[in-house]
Amino acid sequence: MIQRKRVVMLEGTRGPVVIDRNSDGIPEIRANSHNDLYLGQGYMHALDRQLQVLLTRILVTGHASEYLAGDNALVEVDRYMRRLNLHRDLEEQEGLLGADVREQILSYIRGFNLGLTRAGTVPELRLLGYSPGPLEVRDVLVMAKVMGFIGLGDAQGAMEKLIVQMVQHDIEERKLRELFPFLVDKIDHKLLKKVKLQSPMAPEALNWLGKVPKFIASNNWVVSGKHTRSGKPMLCNDPHLEVNRLPSIWYEILMRLPHDAIIGASLPGAPGVLIGRNRNLAFGVTFAFMDMIDYFVEDCKDGKYRRGNKWVPFKVREERITVKKKGEITERVYENDLGILEGDPHEEGMYLVMRWAAARNCGAGDMNYLRVIQARTVTEAMALYRTMEAGSWNMVMADADGNIGYQMTGRLFKRPSGVSGMLPLPAWDKSNHISGFIDSGEFPARYNPPEGYIVTANQNLNSWGKCRPINLPMAPYRANRIIELLRQQRDIDAEYMKKMHFDLYSLQAKRFLELLKPLIPDSENGRILRTWDCHYTPDSRGATLFESVYRELLLAVFGDHGMGREVMEHLLAETAIFNDYYGNFDDILAKRYSAWFDGKDRDEIFRAAIVKGLDIKAVPYAKTRKILMNHLLFGGKIPPFLGFDRGPFPLPGNRATIPQGQIFRNAGRTTSFSPSYRIIADLSEKKIQTTLAGGPSDRRFSRWYFSDFKNWLTGKYKTLE
């Protein structure tokens, strides 16, 4: 029996809003309308996740150095966010909201502000002297753009800049085209070598930026009733985000109406749920890797840029940043018809200008996820998802009538013929310019496919549409393993889905072991690696040895025979580039002959790398896999015994296992890709089964601060209905 405890009763527009907390600490809200449900949800977000919501707002609006601390790292974050100017058209977008959606957002805001008033500002922010103003509609609307850009900028944008750097460091064109098969453009080496790239953000600033919700990877899959024990569809989702943080990005909630129920994971700062179900429809999300960023090369001097033979002045936007205890500074942002310049046009030279597809004139449509929550069928949901533009998402759905579907969202540039979007082109040549956007009806989509299942895991899905939105997909190992397991089982049920969520077998390891086995020496470590079963179990010594050998392969081929070992070590140790796009590197390593081998025999290169990789102590894999769960604000800054940080804990899995378990450093900051939330929905029932990497509350002394983590780690699911 689930125990419930009353939290509060609010006065809604259509009767009382009753809020209880169940025995898992999850709020259960009962009301007579969606508006009133969101009133209650906003109230609970203010009680349980106020720090998360307000800290995100401070960072996203570019006021961190004013409200938190006047140090250089926060000034740098403010400069970055002010340059992006995510709020530029939110007032206009608010006016484009449907009346029903706008009322739901306003109800959520009223609830949050009421909770904020009653609970008061959380101690962490009071300590910093921050007194929050009320939440506004723009604070909700901006979340779609935040989620759409932050991961995209890290992944797609970083790789496109790396391509420029590789050209500047004389990496041969044949190597570039082999590593990036979607790179079809003519490469103007002379021009790209003139480009002045701006320095990346300092590690301290990136550490703060990492507190903003960042979406980059995930699995979701949906199976039709012809493969399930219940005879109805089943949906699974496990968004792979940063898990080494407290609180979790997600906030679980149950919201009940007389005729319906909404159950799932919400994002604090926004109403509704992004992953979950109602009585008739279940829905899940992964990142789609649509290329929504293009760079152009601008020829600049005297504050102007060239168009043909004419010089046109940049528009100058002055952002005044108030720095705590230090006064005011001014950030000058140079913009033109294409986007934001990365550099100072008064210093003559070639600079990049970034064009992001969702920078202007979109955002209102993304709030239609609130209408998805009320939809009854997959076809209704697909039509609504096609109106969402700010973020690139893979949405899978299943309904109680037995239908399953998939729809990609986003906003895709209509590029000139032969332009991949991966390479900066001369902006002064208007034939390179973008002419609008591709109609979302051409995006990848599926409805009741004959195979009876749909699987997305950030892989290349271009074949499912009429256009090619993805030019840098993640490797297909996870997707292929999910498909493999679905094909192996008849009468799939929730227990089988749980086993899939925790499956530690790596198709990447299988692929490479087949190449390596003939070359592995007959040593103790060699025998351990040769007989490894490709499972990343905690006690596996073979997994530890494989990871060491794999790293040496990368350093030997792409370091010693290309970018330089120090450069490759930096990419592996201090950026997320390899963690996103390791599949590109794998495809080179798996070839018998490659330009990257510089004419040498592949086996000769591999043998030397294997010897180096095996020259370690073969410890159990779990000993190499520790993460510390860091408090959102105080993480790593105060003594561990105070309990704000928890751990360390071993993180299951690896880059190519279904539960992607990547631990890496990004500019000095330890982060992760791992299942932040797991959900299983069987449409024959009215419930979901879930685990969360954390708990409902961001309050250190709440019993719900860390309450679900052990279940998440061990695979003990709770039932919400």
* Domain boundaries of the chain, sorted by first residue: 507-623
* β partners of residue 588: none
Q: How many CA atoms lie within 13 A of 101 on its CB side?
A: 22
The pLDDT score that the predictor gives to residue 210 is: 76
Q: What is the pLDDT of residues 178-217, one digit of tens each?
A: 999 999 999 999 999 999 998 877 667 777 777 887 777 8
Average pLDDT, the chain: 95
Q: What is the pLDDT of residues 358-414, one digit of tens each?
A: 999 999 999 999 999 999 999 999 999 999 999 999 999 999 999 999 999 999 999
The pLDDT score that the predictor gives to residue 570 is: 87
Q: How many CA atoms lie within 13 A of 405 on its CB side?
A: 24
Average pLDDT of span 55-67: 96
The pLDDT score that the predictor gives to residue 87 is: 93
How far, in Å, CA of 105 to CA of 103, rounded? Answer: 5
The pLDDT score that the predictor gives to residue 153 is: 64
The pLDDT score that the predictor gives to residue 1 is: 56
Beta carbons of 158 and 166 less than 8 angstroms apart: no
pLDDT at 173 over 80: yes
CA distances to 264, 279, 504, 629, 631 from 709, in Å = 17, 28, 19, 10, 14
How far, in Å, CA of 34 to CA of 480, rounded? Answer: 39
Query: Which residues are within 8 A (CB) of 630 and not within 5 positions of it... i.e. 6 or more apart?
Result: 244, 245, 246, 636, 645
**Closest by CA position to 628, among listed 669, 569, 657:** 669
How far, in Å, CA of 396 to CA of 263, rounded? Answer: 16
The pLDDT score that the predictor gives to residue 672 is: 87
CB atoms within 10 A of CB 95: 9
Which of helix, strand or coil describes residue 270?
coil
Place of tokens 């949405």: 395
How far, in Å, CA of 655 to CA of 670, rounded? Answer: 16
Q: How confident is the model at residue 671 (pLDDT cuts 50, 70, 90)?
A: confident
CA distances to 49, 363, 444 from 122, in Å = 10, 30, 44
The encoded tokens of residue 562 equal 């290309």
> Which of 142-146, 198-202, 300-304, 590-594 comes out lowest in average pLDDT?
198-202
User: Which uninterrupted H or E stretch holds 382?
Assistant: helix 378-385
Kindly report whether the global pTM for this prediction surpasses the value 0.85: yes
Average pLDDT of span 592-617: 97
Torsions phi, psi for 420 (to 5 deg): -85, -25
The pLDDT score that the predictor gives to residue 668 is: 66
Q: What is the pLDDT of residues 617-659, one digit of tens each?
A: 999 999 999 999 999 999 989 999 999 999 999 999 999 999 9
* Sign of the alpha-carbon torsion through 332, 337, 343, 346: negative
How far, in Å, CA of 659 to CA of 387, rounded? Answer: 30
The encoded tokens of residue 446 equal 């599926």
> Residue 239, exposed/middle/buried by CB under 10 A (0-12, 13-18, 19+)?
buried
The pLDDT score that the predictor gives to residue 214 is: 73
Kindly provide the b/e burial profile for residues 318-345, where b requires at least 16 CB atoms within 10 angstroms of the residue's own CB. ebebebbeeeeeebebbbbebbbbbbeb
Beta carbons of 656 and 457 less than 8 angstroms apart: no
Q: How open is the CA angle 124-146-652, to the nearest 5 degrees?
A: 75
Following DSSP, what letter does each residue of 457-513 receive, concatenated? SS---GGGSSS---SSPPPSHHHHHHHHHHHH-SSB-HHHHHHHHT--B-HHHHHHH
What secondary structure letter does DSSP report for 75?
H
With pLDDT > 90 as the criterion, what percentage of the chain qualifies?
A: 90
The pLDDT score that the predictor gives to residue 203 is: 67
How far, in Å, CA of 607 to CA of 298, rounded? Answer: 46
CA distances to 139, 193, 572, 598, 649 from 566, in Å = 42, 21, 10, 19, 30
The pLDDT score that the predictor gives to residue 127 is: 92
**Closest by CA position to 238, among listed 498, 437, 45:** 498
247 prior amide bond cis, ω within 30: yes
How far, in Å, CA of 514 to CA of 122, rounded? Answer: 55
The DSSP bridge pattern shows strands 251-256 and 27-30 to be parallel
Which of helix, strand or coil describes residue 229?
coil
Q: What is the CATH number of domain 507-623?
A: 1.10.1400
The encoded tokens of residue 120 equal 């008061």
Average pLDDT of span 83-99: 95
CB atoms within 10 A of CB 703: 11
The pLDDT score that the predictor gives to residue 200 is: 76
The encoded tokens of residue 94 equal 């608010």
The pLDDT score that the predictor gives to residue 575 is: 80
The encoded tokens of residue 53 equal 């919501």
Q: How confident is the model at residue 582 (pLDDT cuts 50, 70, 90)?
A: very high
Could you tell me which residue, 577 or 681, shows the higher pLDDT? 681
Q: How confident is the model at residue 667 (pLDDT cuts 50, 70, 90)?
A: low
Q: What is the pLDDT of residues 500-520, one digit of tens each?
A: 999 999 999 999 999 999 999
With pLDDT > 70 as the criterion, what percentage of the chain qualifies?
A: 98
Residue type, 464: W
